[in-house]
């Protein structure tokens, strides 16, 4: 219920984006983090989130991006808190040119209407922030070759 | 006298042969007559779409929808949405992003009611090239790896390029295909005589022929159709990509744009400086296939990460 | 009334005949019936029963169409010496040549009809009823010039035969303009047919300026070759006089035409192979095979061998007036040009296709059967027409 409300409240922002691709049941973070002590020291996680490995995204630590005070928010380098739905600002801190293209619709994917309302996929919809490169997928089957396109001779009226 | 009887004999032989032959011919011909008795005379005398008055179009749509209902047992809407003013459609495709997954190919087939059997029609052909130049002679059409993208390869999807100087439109002997005001090249499937001259003229393999009666499972039919687009077709006529005329004229993206998992496909109004395609043309370096042929396509390619 | 008599007598002439005539016609009818059967099959299931596909979208039908346009155009080689130079030996037989052109055009239209996916919509291309894409589409133009030529070659022999039948001298003032018109018209039908393929920038194999000259050169070999053979058959089975001089005159013109044909082929080969651009691929596919695909290679080399040998034979014929040699040469030319101008011209236009795919096309049994049927139809029509023409020419058929 809570994140349904949360989802709605984001819709009227600068860009219309779909709900961020959280792992199931993980959001809101404060459901668990509320009242937990913040250990800001960079370390190997042992109790929770061990599955999160920062791969192919340089040397990173949770609080580079996640806001330590309010875990339901992200944090820009300057200290500004932003919602997950605006995470492109965070990515754009390093990938400025791509953010510029994303805003014009050159980079990234949009759905809906070329004229009228459209949805912008967030950076993180395609690039897992903890492991950004696009994951390989199974291609759809190759077309049928012309040699193999034959009449399926059903019994005709003959 | 002998000669006379010879002639009679030959005559009898001739008559017999003809009778036997006629009987043999009767089989397929009787089927043809069977088909003839079922001929839809309204369809036979139907005029070219551009020649029809609004009243005639209204009657035509009612007739078509009734026919499709009978064939597929479902309500199929046939729209005739006109082009939007001050819009010229264009397409841009980011080759640095395309991973060759063919999602576009099959979502297009689904969306546009393309024949599945016995002859499979695809409007989009994705070509795989080894890293290097785009040399069509070395294009791989039937690649089928376990996963894409693959290192050492890149992919170039090709479909109708909606040329400004479309060779296919120029050669059609009966004006069954033309360029709409919004720049999409369309076919009147009910006017096409199936001579396939346009297919010979197209430098991009942008046109497909219904070599057999198209077969689509009724439950897979997309009931949202347009007369000049994805309404169910018949055998022996040419068809092609229309930039999803039934969607694009309502402001929506074509199906291939929505299907692309990497956002390589961009679509919009060339006349709008803020449209995605126009921004790509303004800020990136773009190229088109076979520029030397001077077909002036509305389909742009670019490389950008 | 005279016209009615003419039609009745002509019909009677067609119905009458010896056993050989009947068996020949019965044989042709039989072939046509089988072909109609195959065509019915094609109508029922769609063009999928041919081996044409999106990659190679024209095949045997269009190849035969192209060849037959050449045969029709070649009648001009009889018309020019007969009417312009008053060459008597040919003047006696020019009607048979014009009827040949008429028949060839009928076959052309038949080949187009069977190639059309929707023959039921044929009216869309009829002037007045349908809509022609003029002046842009070469196919619209081709349709017009072919039908014009059909009318000319119906009108001229019909008029000459009719006047012969009623025993009048033909009114030269009236018919000569049509005859003169038929000369450039013959050139135009084959030129426009070449222009069908020629202006397509996406098909480099056809996109060459010498395509139309090549068409004409090869047509002026194969057309007369068929005429020479048919005339000898007619001479054997009827009492019409066809002088050897006429045949050898044709042979002489064929020698020139074949020289140009081979010369243009060399010019084409040189240009493609020396510049060796990406446009060489279809030529390579035809001449030597491409990426292991070489279905057409034996065919084209057969054609080239036949054409070159025929050229040598026709050179020899200038001194040795030997009919047997002439006939051998004619057969070689017919086969050679049919391969070169048919399959050898149409198929490489599509291989590799515009996106580099190679689909090796060879006609299906349905295509072969339907094509044979159209040839039989042509033979049938020509036999009846020639029979009437000969009867009138020899004075056997006259108004009583």
Spell out the per-residue pLDDT of chain A, length 158, in tens: 344 444 443 444 688 999 999 988 888 988 888 888 888 888 888 888 888 888 899 888 899 999 988 999 999 999 999 999 999 999 999 999 999 999 999 999 999 999 999 999 999 999 999 999 999 999 999 999 999 888 765 444 33
Beta strands in chain C (DSSP E): none
Residues of chain A neighbouring C43 (CB-CB closer than 8 A) = none
Looking at CA atoms only, how far is residue C111 from chain B in angstroms? 11
Residues of chain B neighbouring A126 (CB-CB closer than 8 A) = 261-263
pTM: 0.91
Segments making up each domain of chain C, as ranges: 2-393
CA atoms of C74 and C314, how far apart (whole Å): 17
Residues of chain C neighbouring B290 (CB-CB closer than 8 A) = 202
Residues of chain A neighbouring B98 (CB-CB closer than 8 A) = none
Note the pLDDT tens digit of each residue in B91-136. 999 999 999 999 999 999 999 999 998 899 999 999 999 999 999 9
Q: What 3 state SS string does chain B have?
A: CHHHHHHHHHHHHHHHHHHHHHHHHHHHHHHHHHHHHCCCHHHHCCCCHHHCCHHHHHHHHHHHHHHHHHHHCCCCEEECCCCCCCCCEEEEEECCCCCCCCHHHHHHHHHCCCCCECCCCCCCEEEEEECCCCCHHHCECCCCCCCECCCCEEEEEECCCCCCCCHHHHHCCCCCEEECCCCCEEECCCCCCCCCHHHHHCCCCCEEECCCCCECCHHHCCCEEECCCCCCCCCCCEEECCCCHHHHCCCECCHHHHHCCCCCEEEEECCCCCCHHHHHHHHCCEECCCHHHCCCCCEEEECCC
Note the pLDDT tens digit of each residue in C139-190. 999 999 999 999 999 999 999 999 999 988 999 899 999 999 999 999 999 9
Asked whether the beta carbons of residue B191 and residue C197 sit closer than 8 angstroms, the reply is no
Instruction: Name the maximum alpha-carbon separation found in chain C.
Output: 70
In chain A, % helix, strand, coil (3-state, to 5) comes to 25, 10, 65
So what's the pLDDT on residue A3? 43
| Interchain CB contact of B189 with C (< 8 Å) | no
- Residue in B with minimal Cα distance to C353: B205
Beta bridge partners of B157: B126
Query: Residue B56: is the preceding peptide bond cis (ω within 30°)?
Result: no
CA atoms of A122 and A135, how far apart (whole Å): 16
CA nearest to B21, candidates C368, C375, C28, C46 = C28
b vs e for B174-210, b when ≥16 Cβ sit within 10 Å of the residue's Cβ?
A: bbbbbbbebbbbbbbbbbbbbbbbbbbbbbbbbbbbb
Which is higher by pLDDT, B23 or C267?
Answer: C267
Segments making up each domain of chain A, as ranges: 2-134
Decide if pLDDT at B29 tops 80: no
- Nearest by CB to B144, which of A113, A115, A142? A142
CA atoms of C53 and C48, how far apart (whole Å): 8
- Is the CATH number of domain B89-302 2.60.40.10? no
Note the pLDDT tens digit of each residue in C70-120. 999 988 889 999 988 988 888 888 999 999 999 999 999 999 999 999 999
* pLDDT confidence bin for B25, thresholds 50/70/90: low
CA atoms of B26 and C36, how far apart (whole Å): 10
Which is higher by pLDDT, C33 or B25?
Answer: C33
So what's the pLDDT on residue C91? 87
Cβ-based neighbour number of residue A33 at 10 Å: 16
- Residue in C with minimal Cα distance to A153: C45
In this complex, the chains that touch C, judged by 3 or more CB pairs closer than 8 A, are A, B
Instruction: Name the maximum alpha-carbon separation found in chain A.
Output: 83
Decide if pLDDT at C398 tops 90: no
So what's the pLDDT on residue A35? 82
Which residue stretches of C198-237 are H helix? 211-237
Looking at CA atoms only, how far is residue A107 from chain C in angstroms? 28
Residue in A143, A146, A147, A157 to test binding to C, most C beta-carbons within 10 Å: A146
Decide if pLDDT at B30 tops 80: no
Decide if pLDDT at B214 tops 50: yes
So what's the pLDDT on residue B222? 97
So what's the pLDDT on residue B204? 97
How far from each other are the two terminal CA atoms of chain A, in whole angstroms? 65
Superfamily, domain C2-393:
Formate dehydrogenase/DMSO reductase domain (1.20.1630.10)
Note the pLDDT tens digit of each residue in C307-343. 999 999 999 988 888 999 999 999 999 999 999 988 8
So what's the pLDDT on residue C1? 78
CA nearest to B303, candidates B159, B100, B97, B90 = B97
Residues of chain A neighbouring C54 (CB-CB closer than 8 A) = 146
Asked whether the beta carbons of residue C48 and residue A151 sit closer than 8 angstroms, the reply is yes
Decide if pLDDT at B12 tops 70: no
Gyration radius of chain B over CA positions = 24
CA atoms of C131 and C152, how far apart (whole Å): 24
What are the tokens at B14? 């001739």
Note the pLDDT tens digit of each residue in B250-268. 999 999 999 999 999 999 9
Decide if pLDDT at B13 tops 80: no
What are the tokens at C201? 């920038």
So what's the pLDDT on residue B37? 55
């Amino acid at each position: 219920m809570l994140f349904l409300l949360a989802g709605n409240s984001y819709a009227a922002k600068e860009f219309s984006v779909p709900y961020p691709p959280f792992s199931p049941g993980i959001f809101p973070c404060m459901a668990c983090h509320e009242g937990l002590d913040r250990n800001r020291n960079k370390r190997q996680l042992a109790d929770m989130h061990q599955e999160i490995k920062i791969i192919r995204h340089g040397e990173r630590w949770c609080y580079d991006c996640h806001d330590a005070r309010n875990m339901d928010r992200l944090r820009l380098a300057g200290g500004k808190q932003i919602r997950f739905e605006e995470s492109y600002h965070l990515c754009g801190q390093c990938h400025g040119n791509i953010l510029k293209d994303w805003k014009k619709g050159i980079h990234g994917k949009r759905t809906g209407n070329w004229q009228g309302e459209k949805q912008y996929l967030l950076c993180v919809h395609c690039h897992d922030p903890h492991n950004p490169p696009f994951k390989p997928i199974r291609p759809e089957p190759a077309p049928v070759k012309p040699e193999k396109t034959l009449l399926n001779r059903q019994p005709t009226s003959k | 006298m002998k000669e006379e009887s010879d002639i009679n004999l030959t005559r009898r032989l001739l008559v017999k042969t003809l009778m036997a032959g006629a009987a043999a011919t009767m089989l397929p011909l009787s089927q043809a007559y069977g088909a003839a008795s079922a001929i839809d005379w309204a369809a036979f005398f139907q005029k070219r779409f551009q020649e029809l008055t609004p009243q005639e179009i209204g009657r035509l749509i009612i007739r078509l929808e009734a026919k499709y209902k009978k064939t597929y047992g479902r309500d199929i809407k046939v729209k005739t949405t006109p082009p939007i003013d001050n819009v010229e459609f264009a397409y841009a495709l980011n080759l640095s992003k395309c991973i060759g997954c063919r999602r576009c190919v099959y979502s297009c087939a689904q969306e546009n009611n393309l024949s599945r059997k016995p002859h499979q029609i695809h409007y989009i052909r994705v070509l795989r090239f080894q890293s290097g130049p785009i040399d069509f002679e070395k294009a791989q059409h039937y690649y089928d790896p376990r996963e894409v993208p693959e290192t050492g390869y890149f992919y170039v999807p090709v479909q109708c390029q909606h040329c400004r100087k479309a060779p296919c439109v120029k050669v059609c002997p009966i004006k069954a295909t033309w360029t709409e005001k919004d720049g999409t090249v369309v076919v009147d499937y009910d006017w096409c005589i199936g001579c396939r001259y346009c297919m010979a003229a197209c430098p991009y393999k942008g046109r497909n022929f219904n070599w057999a009666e198209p077969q689509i499972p009724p439950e897979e039919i997309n009931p949202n159709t347009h007369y000049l687009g994805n309404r169910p077709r018949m055998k022996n006529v040419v068809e092609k990509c229309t930039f999803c005329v039934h969607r694009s004229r309502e402001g929506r993206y074509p199906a291939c744009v929505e299907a692309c998992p990497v956002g390589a496909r961009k679509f919009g109004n060339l006349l709008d400086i803020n449209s995605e395609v126009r921004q790509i043309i303004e800020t990136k370096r773009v190229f088109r296939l076979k520029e030397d042929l001077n077909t002036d396509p509305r389909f742009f390619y670019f490389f950008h990460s | 009334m005279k016209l009615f008599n003419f039609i009745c007598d002509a019909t009677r002439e067609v119905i009458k005949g010896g056993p050989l005539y009947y068996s020949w016609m019965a044989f042709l009818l039989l072939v046509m019936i089988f072909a109609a059967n195959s065509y019915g099959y094609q109508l029922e299931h769609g063009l999928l029963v041919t081996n044409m596909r999106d990659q190679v979208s024209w095949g045997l039908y269009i190849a035969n169409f192209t060849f037959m346009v050449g045969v029709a155009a070649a009648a001009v080689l009889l018309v020019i010496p007969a009417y312009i130079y008053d060459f008597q030996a040919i003047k006696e037989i020019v009607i048979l040549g014009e009827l040949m052109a008429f028949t060839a055009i009928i076959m052309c239209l038949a080949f187009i009809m069977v190639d059309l996916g929707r023959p039921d919509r044929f009216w869309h291309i009829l002037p007045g009823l349908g809509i022609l894409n003029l002046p842009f589409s070469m196919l619209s133009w081709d349709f017009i010039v072919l039908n014009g030529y059909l009318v000319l070659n119906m009108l001229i022999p019909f008029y000459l035969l009719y006047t012969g039948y009623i025993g009048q001298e033909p009114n030269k003032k009236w018919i000569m303009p049509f005859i003169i018109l038929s000369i450039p018209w013959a050139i135009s039908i084959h030129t426009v047919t070449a222009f069908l393929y020629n202006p397509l920038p996406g098909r480099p194999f056809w996109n060459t300026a010498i395509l139309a000259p090549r068409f004409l050169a090869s047509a002026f070999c194969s057309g007369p070759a068929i005429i020479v053979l048919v005339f000898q058959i007619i001479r054997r089975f009827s009492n019409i006089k066809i002088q050897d001089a006429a045949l050898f005159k044709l042979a002489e013109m064929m020698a020139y035409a074949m020289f140009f044909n081979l010369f243009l082929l060399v010019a084409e080969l040189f240009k493609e192979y020396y510049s060796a651009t990406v446009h060489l691929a279809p030529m390579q596919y035809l001449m030597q095979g491409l990426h292991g695909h070489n279905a057409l290679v034996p065919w084209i080399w057969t054609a080239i061998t036949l054409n070159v040998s025929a050229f040598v034979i026709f050179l020899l014929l200038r001194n040795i007036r030997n009919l047997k040699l002439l006939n051998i040469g004619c057969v070689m030319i017919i086969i050679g040009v049919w391969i070169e101008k048919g399959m050898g011209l149409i198929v490489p236009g599509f291989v590799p296709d515009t996106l580099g795919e190679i689909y090796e096309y060879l006609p299906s049994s349905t295509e072969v059967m339907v094509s044979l049927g159209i040839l039989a139809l042509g033979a049938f029509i020509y036999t009846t027409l020639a029979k009437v023409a000969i009867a009138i020419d020899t004075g056997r058929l006259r108004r009583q």
